[in-house]
Structure 1
């Protein structure tokens, strides 16, 4: 991939069939990439990077200082999160169907004898996915009339560097499975963000103005969400 060196910043340059320049700082290592229209002069790219350098350095420093969560071991006594609340994992042996129950501050995983840590991870991931799929139709039914846009399709998947994505042509939105671990208002923020993309593709003044109109506290929710890593070793991108 072509690179520019701007004031000791290594910048990846991607030329695409787009209308505006877009600069992104990627977690966890602070890699900088600029997506630009096909015929953008190199000098215009340099000017953008110079103008945004303080912003770039700020996010690179934030990524450096951010605590990386230790990899989960899926052992009894470990802390797991659901809807912003911490739960202690408790393991139980069952002869029936493996299942998970929330009770007080504990997350009880009932498993077959001999279940391994990777199998527990699969069980918990399936439980998280089911819970998020229960909540999304309710959120969409609430927010679609407010935003004035309707998703034709939606889905849940693991994503390393995005909380959500939107395919505008197909009117399809995807939500990151990790959102189910965060407070409900953070999930609502991502849902609204992706719905607003059905009005405006770009993160421009019109997009943020619509966010202000539909969800005035969106900045607070975004900041809260972006304090957390998506997965061990990964933080959300700064865009």
Structure 2
């Protein structure tokens, strides 16, 4: 159940949940603010939490206001799609066989084979399945590389489409999830998110201890984070401003 309240000059959607800590999220494209709060937490505490983060919220709202809206993709020949940080031209081919995607790296082309009567949504599913398979192929080797560095092991991991985050971590289950959109970013961005989520297995909160551990495990994480959050014109950017 949610309601809209005014805090520090901001319109905020307040949602009560069976959680232990407050979380505020700023959503693209218009900078909508949503705070999730424990069921019995006094509203005065929520006001104090939002007021302390007002500058952070407004920074993300300003960033979203300057972003170019993502283009409506039709998954047709000539469109640009990204893989591991590199733009590729999509070529769509009619086929009576299995729908699939073939990477032509030297040509800078993604060949997508689908039935002649396929819809944009169906072609999107074909490309998404290919992206998912490529990301899942890469993760075991990256986990084997970074888990010893971080000194923490994920009991389980997965890939899913996320609207507002690059990754999440369930610290109790030692399970991490990574955004499917990461396959479109350079590999160092993927590695940054992986290390970020593994570090949460040591420290749940984004506090001084957490960032100190990030400095220890990946000294250049700030560079990778900045690159990750660079919007690509015409491409959707799944992340929102999110602070625990």
What range describes the TM-score normalised by the shorter chain of this pair? 0.7 to 0.9
Farther-moved stretch of structure 1 (90-99 vs 78-87): 90-99
Q: Is the 8 A contact 1:228 1:235 kept in 2?
A: no
What does the per-residue CA deviation read over 1:168-192, in whole Å, with 9 as the maximum and x for residues that have no partner?
1211111111110110011111111
| 1:168-207 equivalences in 2 (<5 Å) | 168-207=171-210
The count of aligned residue pairs is 238
Q: Is the 8 A contact 2:158 2:176 kept in 1?
A: yes
Q: Is the 8 A contact 2:162 2:238 kept in 1?
A: no
Q: Is the 8 A contact 1:75 1:89 kept in 2?
A: yes
Q: Is the 8 A contact 1:101 1:108 kept in 2?
A: yes
Q: For 1:47 and 1:112, how far apart are their aligned partners in 2?
A: 56
Q: For 2:18 and 2:96, how far apart are their aligned partners in 1?
A: 57
| Structure 2: stretches of 5+ with no match in the other structure | none
Q: For 2:7 and 2:96, how far apart are their aligned partners in 1?
A: 63
What TM-score do you get using the length of structure 2 for normalisation?
Answer: 0.86
What TM-score do you get using the length of structure 1 for normalisation?
Answer: 0.88
- Secondary structure of the structure 2 residue equivalent to 1:11: strand
**1:86 alignment partner in structure 2:** 87
> What value does the CA root-mean-square deviation take over the aligned residues?
2.4
**1:57 alignment partner in structure 2:** 58
Q: For 2:7 and 2:98, how far apart are their aligned partners in 1?
A: 58
Summarize the Cα distance change of 1:96–1:205 in structure 2 as closer, same or farther, 3 Å threshold. Answer: same
| 1:128-207 equivalences in 2 (<5 Å) | 128-207=131-210
Q: Is the 8 A contact 1:77 1:90 kept in 2?
A: yes
In the TM superposition, what is the alpha-carbon distance from 1:88 to its structure 2 partner? 0.3
- Given candidates 225, 228, 235, the residue that maps to 2:228 is 225
In the TM superposition, what is the alpha-carbon distance from 1:40 to its structure 2 partner? 4.5
